[in-house]
Amino acid sequence: MKPLELKEYLCAQIPIAQALGIDVVSLSAEGVELTAPLEANRNHLGTAFGGSLGSVMILACYAWMFNRLGEDGKNCHVVIQTAQTDYLKPVTGNLRAVCSPPDGAEIERMLRHVDRKGVARLKISSQIVDTSGEVLCRFVGDFVAHVAK
């Protein structure tokens, strides 16, 4: 899947992704980078709203997993089961979410479970980083893949 395809998919399937103003900077097995403008996502203090930050970090993880399953030829639905977010510093500029893949052994285990059981869980992390690379928010979630019927 190419970045523009993912953007169009997200905005068509998840209307709030369009309201967030999601853009897909990069998308590969090595990771995902999404951006969203501060203006659409600001709060009463002019910094980024916690719900928007959470949404963009969820979408980065979701996109990575969906794309990784597709690269392996698996047609799966992906849903979120748990989410833990730490808001470390206010986000005063545009939102930039980066998802780095889990450990390779964890990914292989997940792909085997999808084949054997039709369902698998994977813990995936993403972060909001500023232009200097400083981490402003940290997210980790459990995502579940179900083979699509």
Contact 130, 93 (CB under 8 A): yes
- Tokens standing for 82? 């748990």
Residue whose CB is less far from its own copies, 85 or 125: 85
Residue whose CB is less far from its own copies, 42 or 109: 42
CB of 9 to its own copies, least distance (A): 8
What is the CA 126 to chain-centroid distance, rounded? 7
Summarize as ranges the residues that interact with its own copies (CB under 8 A): 9, 13-17, 19-20, 39-45, 49-52, 54-56, 58-59, 77, 79-87, 90
CB of 149 to its own copies, least distance (A): 12
Q: Return the half-sphere exposure (C-beta side, CA atoms, 13 A cut-off) of residue 144.
A: 9
CB of 52 to its own copies, least distance (A): 5
What is the CA 143 to chain-centroid distance, rounded? 10
H helices within the chain, ranges in order?
Answer: 3-13, 15-20, 50-71, 104-117
Residue whose CB is less far from its own copies, 57 or 107: 57
CB of 13 to its own copies, least distance (A): 4
